[in-house]
Amino acid sequence: MTEWFTETLHPWLAQRLRLDRVLYREKTEHQDLIIFENEKFGRVLTLDGVVQTTEGDEFVYHEMLTHVPLTAHGDAKRVLIIGGGDGGMAREVLKHPEVEHLTMVEIDRSVVDMSAEHLPSLSAGAFDDARFNLVITDGAAYVAETDDRFDVIIVDSTDPIGPGEVLFTAEFYADCKRCLTEGGIVVTQNGVPFVQGTEVTNSWHRLGKSFADVWFFVAPVPTYQGGFMAFGWATDDKAKRSTDLSVLEERFERAGIRTRYYTPAVHQGSFALPRFILDLLK
């Protein structure tokens, strides 16, 4: 009998992925974790009934949420990831030769351990990189207390439900600002505007309390159903968002990173927002 994973993120929309083989399932201290195999998307990580990442389409999300801020910054030596337990974000950050130190603050140890065991293609050795530093705690508490400073902060969180909710507050964003170096950049997983529009409007206002330049960039991630995925962008250096294409190309060329989605031209174009998303920024 064919089994299906049915996503429960929305009361009026659900996607199903055929459950070909369950690799791991645990009610962790924080969330309900399932890793399973699907013929089309490969291995899939879900938390609390929501698709987090799949081997099939993770490259779009992880490449955009790392190479856009890191290439725009141009010399990010110290990077912070909040969340990111599957390791895909760390893998892409550590491809940048200028990065000297990466801290990943993840609340759920099981996500890290089980992703390393059952989804090794995501972290692809990042967890063993000498520059990598894992902290298991709540990301909101970490940015409120740390004395460390970072050039880029990547909020790779779940949706604003359960443990992820605190990572969408004005207080959290103010604490991220506190941890940023001069001209630093914060980017966030900010939901699918067509079905989670309030997340963009809320982040627009909440980030706006702490940063001079707040915007969004987009990319389509097939298993984040509903169209474009939005990524929050926040910095006090307004020039970074409009870095010249030739500069982006030169920097990315120098980094020598192979990608399947990100290009400097896609980077620049991703900040052009369709009218229905612009209408959420008010």
By CB under 6 A, tell whether 199 contacts ligand SAM: no
Neighbours of 140 (CB within 10 A): 23
By CB under 6 A, tell whether 189 contacts ligand SAM: yes
79 closest CA partner among 126, 138, 137, 141: 126
By CB under 6 A, tell whether 138 contacts ligand SAM: yes
Which C-beta is closer to ligand SAM: that of 69 or that of 163? 163
By CB under 6 A, tell whether 167 contacts ligand SAM: yes
Q: Is the CB of residue 30 less than 8 Å from the CB of residue 85?
A: no
Binds ligand SAM by CB under 6 A, chosen from 5, 41, 61, 216: 61
Size of the site for ligand SAM (CB under 6 A): 26
By CB under 6 A, tell whether 160 contacts ligand SAM: no
By CB under 6 A, tell whether 52 contacts ligand SAM: yes
Binds ligand SAM by CB under 6 A, chosen from 69, 84, 160, 264: 84
Q: Which residues pair with 134 in a beta bridge?
A: 104
By CB under 6 A, tell whether 156 contacts ligand SAM: yes
Which C-beta is closer to ligand SAM: that of 157 or that of 210? 157
By CB under 6 A, tell whether 255 contacts ligand SAM: no
Binds ligand SAM by CB under 6 A, chosen from 105, 119, 214, 234: 105
User: What are the contacts of 16-25 at 24+ separation with CB within 8 A?
Assistant: 17/41, 17/44, 17/51, 17/223, 23/118, 24/114, 24/117, 24/118
By CB under 6 A, tell whether 164 contacts ligand SAM: yes
Give the Cα separation of 19 and 196 in Å (integer): 26
Binds ligand SAM by CB under 6 A, chosen from 79, 111, 114, 154: 111
Q: How many residues make up the chain in this entry?
A: 282
Smallest gap from residue 183 Cβ to ligand SAM (A): 25
DSSP 279: T
32 given a catalytic annotation: no
Residue tagged active-site, from 86, 151, 156, 159: 156
Whether the CA torsion 85, 105, 240, 67 is positive or negative: it is: negative
By CB under 6 A, tell whether 87 contacts ligand SAM: no
Smallest gap from residue 22 Cβ to ligand SAM (A): 18
Which one of 70-78, 82-90, 233-241, 269-277 is the stretch in contact with ligand SAM (CB under 6 A)? 82-90
Going residue by residue from 28 to 47, which x/- string records binding to ligand SAM, judged by CB under 6 A?
-------------------x
Binds ligand SAM by CB under 6 A, chosen from 69, 160, 163, 184: 163
By CB under 6 A, tell whether 166 contacts ligand SAM: yes
- At position 141, the amino acid (one-letter code) is A
Report the DSSP pairing between strands 78-83 and 50-54.
unpaired
167 closest CA partner among 149, 181, 153: 153
Give the Cα separation of 83 and 138 in Å (integer): 9
**Residue 195 has which token pair?**
């079905």
**Who contacts 160 (Cβ-Cβ below 8 Å, separation ≥6)?**
167, 168, 199
By CB under 6 A, tell whether 157 contacts ligand SAM: yes
Q: Would you name the residues annotated as active-site residues?
A: 156
